[in-house]
Structure 1
Amino acid sequence: MQTINSTLTVAAIQYDIRWLDPQANFEQLTQLISEHFANHSAVDLLLLPETFTTGFCINRDDVQAPANGGQALAWLKNIAKQYNCVVAGSVLVSHNHKKVNRFYWAHANGQVDYYDKRHLFRLGNEQDHVEAGTARKIFTINGIKILPLVCYDLRFPVWSRNRQDYDLMVNVANWPAARRHIWDTLLKARAMENQSYVVGVNRVGTDGLNIAHSGGTSIIDFCGENLITAQDNQQQIIRAELDFSKLKQFKEKFPAFLDADDFSLAHCEQVSHHT
């Protein structure tokens, strides 16, 4: 079992995404981040919701989705450099005559990693416009291994099963208020079954399809307990320092992972990034 003795400070931004208006979202986020860091210390990882520049507009062909990440990636890299941390959130990116829902990780040194959303939201016909990702990825920040997920991925425990290859799971979402109970429940379930810290980042407000979102952005420990949760229907940045020595001690006392079933994922590439 990996020895973990470090901490990681994580911040998550819950906000009302302006529909189809990237520039307004860049300006809004820049202000929220500036105000937060004027009163708080630095973080290692700053997380934004799914499709943070436009809202969940998968069927809009008139919305630009540059293959290179365009202005969205440039903005992420700039904020990462300015605040000396990893800044991460998902955007729609052109790919193979469709799009991918790409969860970018921009590092302060200019390096960029990404994970493409694997599970596409059938109820919203995401599969008609978006191509599913094929790689389950693990990113590393300061020695802490992190599994990135996007929204609907949360419903699929096999994809997120901890093979003792990560210490923290993060999920960024546009999860509707109508199914908020499921979001709250599954975040805790994933933390408990995988003996991992979990951060879930959701938006608030009503989008251009008249779908309401109430938030539920939370940082959860490996026992499924909320360390901090944003207020419902409010724009807010929450943060917590995660102590991975506590996770190590817990797993030594309760090593349920030793009794886990062996399995393999078909048609999936396993990728790790070390930073």
Structure 2
Amino acid sequence: MNLIALQIKTSLDFEKNLTHLKALIKACEEDSLILAPELALSGFSYDRMIEASNFSLKAIEDIKALSFNKIIALTFIIKKDDNFFNTLYIFHNQEIVHTQSKVQLFPLGNELEYFSAGNKNDIKIIEINGIKIATLICFELRFPKLWEKVKGADIILNPAMWGLKRKDHYESISKALALVNQCFVIACNSADDNMAKGSAIISSFGNVIKDDSKEVIKTNFDLDEIKKTRRYIDIGLN
């Protein structure tokens, strides 16, 4: 299976963002796990929340249709009742197989003023084709207690809009997450001008594939490497 991080920019044009994302997804081979940055289709459009949430409904159907023999993950602005959530959707074989809303909202980005927090119990390991997958959304990467929720996963996803000034934090914590959990991490950050980029695919042994100049970061998933790492450096994850 291919692991792919789409390190893309988000414009003010929602439809343009969706068209570009769909083209990238279509270009990915079958049997790929594809992750887009946090709110890649809308950004944090605080002045357009209703518009963004309505657009999400269309985009979800479009992305779901592209998920035949692919796993696709990204977050959307979702409205439930009178509240807005930053919600991850994972699609596989044209089905929605998992959702979770961001639990730890970033106070420096005014997220607490516009979004409601998700349920911590929704952060969990799911299994697709025998592969255990879990997600922490952007700022959630910083919370050790949430690392316990994804312990034992084979792949941990982190869709992010992580600021440029904290680039080293993003890259360091992402690598630590892979090493501590002896798993693959797909760190997928925005390529917007004020964002850190730093998207990477990190193996269970800490090997890092990244390139800030590329939109598509790609490598092969190796379950045997995880098994070997956990066997020879046994910290109780077998």
Give the corresponding residue for 1:217. 199
How do 1:231-242 and structure 2 match up within 5 A? 232=212, 234-242=213-221
TM-score, with structure 1 as normaliser:
0.79
Distance in structure 2 (CA, Å) of the matches to 1:164 and 1:64? 33
CA shift digits 1:171-194 (9 cap, x unpaired) = 001111111110000001111112
Determine if contact 2:125/2:150 at 8 Å carries over to the other structure: no
Secondary structure of the residue aligned to 1:175 is coil
Gaps of 5+ in 1: 1-7, 207-211, 259-275
1:256 is matched by which residue type in structure 2? I
How far apart are residue 64 of structure 1 and its match? 3.1
Give the corresponding residue for 1:125. 110
Give the corresponding residue for 1:5. none
How far apart are residue 235 of structure 1 and its match? 4.5
Determine if contact 1:204/1:235 at 8 Å carries over to the other structure: no
CA shift digits 1:202-245 (9 cap, x unpaired) = 11123xxxxx114111000112220x112x2x351121111112
Percent of paired sites with the same residue: 29
The number of aligned residues is 235
Give the corresponding residue for 2:37. 49
Secondary structure of the residue aligned to 2:152 is coil
How far apart are residue 62 of structure 1 and its match? 4.9
Give the corresponding residue for 1:181. 168
How far apart are residue 98 of structure 1 and its match? 1.9
CA shift digits 1:121-157 (9 cap, x unpaired) = 0111211211111122222221010111110011112
Distance in structure 2 (CA, Å) of the matches to 1:152 and 1:218? 16
Secondary structure of the residue aligned to 2:52 is coil
Q: CA RMSD in A?
A: 2.0
Distance in structure 2 (CA, Å) of the matches to 1:107 and 1:95? 23
1:71 is matched by which residue type in structure 2? K
Secondary structure of the residue aligned to 1:94 is strand
Picking from 9, 25, 30, the partner of 2:22 is: 30
Secondary structure of the residue aligned to 1:15 is coil
Deviates more, 1:155-164 or 1:121-130: 155-164
Residues 1:253 and 2:238 are matched in the alignment: no
Compared CA separation, residues 121 and 163, structure 1 to 2 (3 A): closer
Residues 1:148 and 2:173 are matched in the alignment: no
Determine if contact 1:11/1:43 at 8 Å carries over to the other structure: no
Q: Which protein has the bigger helix share?
A: 2
Compared CA separation, residues 61 and 54, structure 1 to 2 (3 A): closer
Gaps of 5+ in 2: none
Give the corresponding residue for 2:210. 229
| Larger RCO: 1 or 2 (CA < 8 Å, sep 6+) | 1
TM-score, with structure 2 as normaliser:
0.90
Secondary structure of the residue aligned to 1:63 is helix
Picking from 50, 53, 62, the partner of 1:75 is: 62
Determine if contact 1:80/1:86 at 8 Å carries over to the other structure: yes
Determine if contact 1:167/1:196 at 8 Å carries over to the other structure: yes
Picking from 83, 98, 101, the partner of 1:113 is: 98
Give the corresponding residue for 2:78. 93
Determine if contact 1:17/1:203 at 8 Å carries over to the other structure: yes
Distance in structure 1 (CA, Å) of the matches to 2:25 and 2:49? 30
How far apart are residue 100 of structure 1 and its match? 0.8
Determine if contact 1:204/1:213 at 8 Å carries over to the other structure: yes
CA shift digits 1:75-114 (9 cap, x unpaired) = 2112213xx2111100110124221110111112323421
Give the corresponding residue for 1:267. none
How do 1:186-205 and structure 2 match up within 5 A? 186-205=173-192
How far apart are residue 59 of structure 1 and its match? 5.5
